[in-house]
Amino acid sequence: MFSDISVSDLVIVLVTMLVSLSVHEAMHAFTAHALGDTTAKEEGRLTLNPLKHIDIVTTVLLPVILIALHLPPIFIAKPVPFDPERVRYGEFGAALIALAGPLTNLVLAILAALFIHVGGLPWDSSTVYALSLFMQVNIAIFVFNMIPFPPLDGSRLVYAFAPEPVQRVMYRIESAGFALTVLIFLLLSPIIVPFVSNISQAIYTFLL
């Protein structure tokens, strides 16, 4: 999806990442606040301000380096903190918080597709091309984050329905942090990359 990307394309992708990941994390925060947890608000994350959500290494440098190496990018912003004990509906509330982020990215992709279809712009215009990149980035964020592996958002669905022994194993994996996620991603990339790419491409093709 991001192979043979030009410098101008890279700029579009970078700006899209900053905007989309900021909205993604903000929706986690807004959903948590709506469910009774004020942790995100107390830490200044109840905002659309990108400076509050991005991390220079994981949000900017890592994806750009991977794209430059013609590898699928990993899109990760600063995780929004929340206290499961303060969230209504327990694990189901936590799952709603997690889903709010990637589903927002899917909605952004859908809105971009609708604009392309009803905007009356030529399909070969630079605006349509930029919107198509915007769609691809947001779809990739959606699909990647829905992988049910800690600490990705999709894992919260598993937490909500899995028996306690499975939850304990997932908690240990999540406690290991970001480094383990990247390591596992790299080790399993021959499986994960085609999976994410194929699903992302299918969604992108369907929307256009």
3 pLDDT band, cuts 50/70/90, is low
Rounded Cα distance between 39 and 33, Å, is 8
The answer to whether 24 and 38 are in contact (CB under 8 A) is no
2 pLDDT band, cuts 50/70/90, is low
The answer to whether 25 and 12 are in contact (CB under 8 A) is no
How much is the pTM? 0.88
Confidence check: pLDDT of 67 > 80: no
Peptide bond just before 151 cis, omega within 30 deg: yes
6 pLDDT band, cuts 50/70/90, is confident
Task: Using alpha carbons, list the distances in angstroms from residue 37 to 26, 74, 101, 137, 175.
Answer: 14, 28, 16, 30, 21
Q: What is the DSSP letter of 67?
A: H
Encoded tokens for 117 = 């279809």
Backbone angles phi, psi at 206, to 5 degrees: -65, -45
Cα 11-207-68 angle, rounded to 5 deg: 25
The answer to whether 124 and 168 are in contact (CB under 8 A) is no
Encoded tokens for 17 = 């990442």
Rounded Cα distance between 58 and 68, Å, is 15
Q: What is the mean pLDDT of the chain?
A: 87
The alpha carbon of 125 is separated from its chain's Cα centroid by a whole number of angstroms, namely 27
| Sequence-separated (6 or more) residues with CB below 8 Å from residue 127 | 119, 121
pLDDT digits (tens, 9 = 90+) for 12-59: 888 898 899 999 999 999 999 999 999 999 999 999 998 899 888 877
Task: Using alpha carbons, list the distances in angstroms from residue 85 to 44, 46, 130, 140, 183.
Answer: 20, 19, 42, 31, 30
